[in-house]
Structure formats: C-alpha cells, structure tokens
Amino acid sequence: MEDFDMDADDNMEQENDKSPKKKPHQPSGIAIDALAGLLDSYSSAETKNSRRSAIPIPLQQQQGSHSLSSTTIATPVRATNITQQVSTPNVATFQARLNKEETIVEHIGNKSNNKDKTERKKLPSIQFQSLVKPYKYMYQTIYKRANGALNKQIEEFEDLFLTMINNKENEKSNIVLYPVGNAVQDEVQLVGRIVCDSAGQLNAQSITLEGSSRTSKCNRVRLDVSSLPSYSLFPGQIIFVSGIYTNDGFFHAKQLTNLPLVPHPIETKISNDISFMIAAGPFLLANGNLSAFEELLKRAEEDLSIQSLILIGPFIDERSSYVQNLQDKTYEQLFNELLEKIKSFRVKTILIPSLRDIHHDSIYPLSPFINNENKDSTIIYGCEPSILSFDDLQCAITSTDILCHLSSEEISLNQTTDRMSRLIRHLFQQKSFYPLIPPNESVSIEYDQAFEYAKIDTLPHLFITSSDLRPFIKFIDSVCAINIGRLVKNQDSTMINNASGTYAKIFLNKTSDDINNGTILNDHLHIQILRL
C-alpha cells in the first residue's frame, strides 16, 4: 500500500489485529475502480495505466469495421456515498504527539531567501478577483439548467476551438464543426461534452459525446476510442475530436485536440517579499477542544516573517462526531468561538468556507460567511472557490476536493505525466474549478453561479487546495500547485505519532523579473508543508 494516494495518516488501515475478525466486505465495481485510481496517482510512468486505464477492447473488435454493436456494455454501478462519523484525536493524544513541526514536503528555490524574521513586514495589498453574493437556489428547472448554463458552456468551447484551430500557425484553415449525431461519410470534427451512457461509471465502452443546442440540437453519439494512442477523459469534459461515423452509428475517434492552458495575466513582477501561512479544517479535536487551532494561531503569531494567515474550511465540520452530537450550543455559537479566537489574533486572517461547514449554505459556489463591511477588521471573508491576489501574486484557492473526485472518475490510456499534474491541468484546460458533470454526490452545484464564479479565465501563479490526498508541491507549466492537507487528521485517536495534520508556509522573494515565467517563480519560492 505504499503507493496509496490517500494521506498515510488517514484511517484506512487502522482496524487490524486488535479488532475482531469480520466477514470480508466485497466492494462494488466503482469502489474498486476508485481505489485503483488513487493507488496509481503517484506511480511511475511505466505503471501509469495498470489500474485506471481504459478497459481493453477485444481483439476481434480492433479489426475490420471497428464495430462495437455486439459488445455487452458492462458499466460498474456507482457506489452510494454514506456519511460516516469521523474520528479525530483527543486532547491528550494531541498534546503527546512526537512529530511537531516535522517538514512533510518542501520546495526551496535557488534564489529564495526567508531569513529575515526580526520584524513583521508590511502587509501586501489583498484583493479578491470576485466575491460570490448570497443567492437563491433550487429555483432553476432542469430544462433551464440544461438549456442555459450547461449548453452555453459547450457553445463557448466551440468558439474557442474554432479560434484556436483556424488561427494555428497564422494560417487560415477551413475547419467546420459538424453536428453531433448527423452521420456523414467524410472525416469530420466534433465538439461536445463527455457523458456516460448509463448511471454507472465511465469506461471505454460507455463514452458518449453530447453536442450543443446551437450546432447539434443536443444530440448524442457513442464514441469509439479504440484507435486513439492515448487519452484522458472524465464526465463533463468538453473535447474537440476528429474521426468518422461507422455503419453501426458510432463515431470512431482518430484524434483528440486539447485546448491550451488559459493564459497568465499581464506581466507580473513582485516588488516586495510576500509571506503567508495557510491551513485547512477540520480545526476541532474529538471533544470540540480548540488546542490544535490555538497552536496554529500561536505559530503564525510567533513567526514574524508571516504577514497573513489563510484559513480554509470546514470550520464546523458536518462529518465530525462531536458536531453531529452537539447539544449544549448551536453550530453558529461554535463558529463564533472560533471567530473570537481569530479576532484576538494580531495577524490579518482570510476565511474561506467549505461545503462541509454545517453552519453555512452548502450549495457550490459558496458565498462568504459574513459581508466584509468593516474595512479595519483583522478578518477578511472570502468565497469558495476564490482567486485572490497578494499585491500581484495570483492565488487560486478551493476547499472542495475536486482532485479526489476527478481521480475516481477519470479514465486514461498511455499517459506520460503523473496523475495529479494531469488532473490539475484538466482544470486549467476546462477553465473551471469543478468541471466534473455530474458532480460527486457530496457536491450540489448551482450552475449559473458556478460558471460565473468558479471559472478560471487566467492562470494563477499558485493553485492551492485542501484534499484528502497526500500533501504535495508540483510545478505544472508555470503554475505551482499545492495540496496543504488538513490540520486535524481523521484517524484513530490512539495513534500518538500521527495526532496532528499539516499546514503550509509560503514565501516569495521580491523579483524584478516576470514571475509568469515558471522558472522565475520556481526560483523565488520557498514552500514548506509542516506537521502541526
């Protein structure tokens, strides 16, 4: 299990010799596939396709007319998400932990210098690109959702693909998009959204392409990918595909063309050093104690190089056994206790909500907890997801575990990049913080709001997420992607050495060079993911 992509501190293997022997549980097909998808997330290029690669097409179907009509479609049944109570360490276990401030992952740029801790430096200008305003939800009909936001997204990508192809190498071409489902004899180009042909999980034999209302009247066609040398597909992904229609009504794909990554904003130079700490919930211990949270605030206050602190939800976690059994106070009162701790804290703090916050609306995207009315307050309330800037450093932040959700839904063949980098690149190519459609069962999306506030129009310099997957630091083209993990781990409270989770410190030296150049950003960054 060394390659298992869940954090090693999680509670996946803690019921062992001490527990009575139980009858082995037989997981469903989707559970096996999801586990296998996580297992190879960090595997080498040679073993990249061993588990989650597409199901091979029988030899007799790879020859002749590429007919798939006789194939029996075996679509795994999607497992039902069951909300379980989460076990968190108790106070005694937390205080007795032995691995305090252990460095889990670190990146030190060639020109980074984070030695001046004698005084707290001037706070950079902090601005959000946009903030989600409170909105009414559950008023949109299925027809309006499909014909409105979802269809407009495909039409937008049709225009993007045409612009990209026709302007390639500054030569005018005659590429025309043909309607999906309108069979012709010649090789044609289609743009559409990947969907699964049934209620199960996507596999190589259940891929369907859905066209737009404008071009295809929302028609669908089954997609045969047996001739593609490589691909990486997931439900909701919008693709540009070239191929031919076969006699049995399938579209035989010959080539997939991906959109390039969205561009960076204009030339960016950092005139002052930027340093901040960032952590993600849960923040409460097993009995609701705030020891872990107070320890984090203490470290941020004592480290004079830290200019600001970013806290990502969940703050009042709906999965916590303590929160689920709360009797002596309300969820809001419990959240206010956290706020009082932060207000007595002298460092500027930014709060980002989570779908798991039981005291807040749970419809994606999320509006801030409170309106930022008091400009002199030490607290800034952000939305989920958020794109904020420290001076000119662009940071994209999300508390929704899109990487874990994508990892269990994506199918791939002959991919040369590591899985995490590939999944993050999907977000930039699809221009969205959450491109998975339909979403994970734990996520409820208001698509009109999501396509306005959860879009990625320009590449950030930092992409920060709090996933249940193992913490990492990765440079993807010119973007630094960071999974900071969670401050309080979900685990057996007897595991003293693993009683605390992780948080991150990020420091960027001032530079006169353009940090849109990935090499410059790499050289001037110093990032630490630390054990609490």
pLDDT in tens, 199-255: 788 999 999 999 998 988 889 999 999 999 999 999 999 999 999 998 888 999 999
CATH of the domain at 159: 2.40.50.140
Q: Would 108 be classed as within a structural domain?
A: yes
Instruction: Output the CA–CA distances (angstroms, integers) from residue 500 to 290, 310, 467, in the order listed.
Output: 13, 18, 16
How many structural domains comprise the chain?
A: 2
Same domain? For 228 and 283 the reply is no
- Both tokens assigned to 23: 């009858």
Rg, Å, the chain Cα set: 24
**Predicted pLDDT at 7:** 54
pLDDT score of 354 more than 90: yes
Same domain? For 228 and 339 the reply is no
* Helix, coil or strand: residue 294: helix
Same domain? For 129 and 151 the reply is no
For residues 240 and 193, the answer to whether their CB atoms sit within 8 Å is no
pLDDT score of 453 more than 70: yes
pLDDT in tens, 290-332: 889 999 999 999 988 899 999 999 999 998 888 999 888 999 9
pLDDT score of 19 more than 60: no
- Both tokens assigned to 293: 């949270």
Q: Would 212 be classed as within a structural domain?
A: yes
Same domain? For 170 and 238 the reply is yes
Q: Which residue has the higher pLDDT, 450 or 51?
A: 450
pLDDT score of 187 more than 60: yes
- Both tokens assigned to 316: 């009042």
**Residues of the chain above pLDDT 90, percent:** 46
CA-CA distance, 401 to 485, in Å (whole number)?
Answer: 11
Same domain? For 163 and 128 the reply is no
Q: Would 35 be classed as within a structural domain?
A: no
Same domain? For 275 and 198 the reply is no
**Residues of the chain above pLDDT 70, percent:** 78
pLDDT score of 66 more than 70: no
Q: Are strands 188-196 and 274-280 parallel, antiparallel or unpaired?
A: unpaired
Same domain? For 343 and 460 the reply is yes
Q: What are phi and psi of 362, to 5 degrees?
A: -115, 35
Q: Would 436 be classed as within a structural domain?
A: no
The contacts of residue 60 (CB under 8 Å, 6+ apart) are none
Give the residue from 257, 273, 304 where a domain finishes: 257
Give the residue from 257, 282, 315 where a domain finishes: 257
Residues 419-441: what's their mean pLDDT? 94
pTM: 0.82
Among 108-117, 142-151, 518-527, name the most confident range.
518-527
Residue 338: alpha-carbon gap to chain centroid: 26
Same domain? For 217 and 277 the reply is no
Same domain? For 211 and 186 the reply is yes
Same domain? For 309 and 178 the reply is no
DSSP state of 196: E
Q: Would 83 be classed as within a structural domain?
A: no
Q: Which domain holds residue 297?
A: 102-138+263-400+443-531
Give the residue from 225, 257, 289 where a domain finishes: 257
CA angle 436–442–448, rounded 5-degree value: 55
Q: Which of 82-96, 403-417, 446-460, 512-526 has the lowest mean pLDDT?
A: 82-96
- How many CA atoms are closer than 13 Å to the CA of 359, on its beta-carbon side? 21
Find the length of the chain. Answer: 532
Q: Would 27 be classed as within a structural domain?
A: no
Q: Would 495 be classed as within a structural domain?
A: yes
Q: Which of 130-134, 161-165, 279-283, 437-441 has the lowest mean pLDDT?
A: 161-165
CATH of the domain at 481: 3.60.21.60
Same domain? For 320 and 173 the reply is no
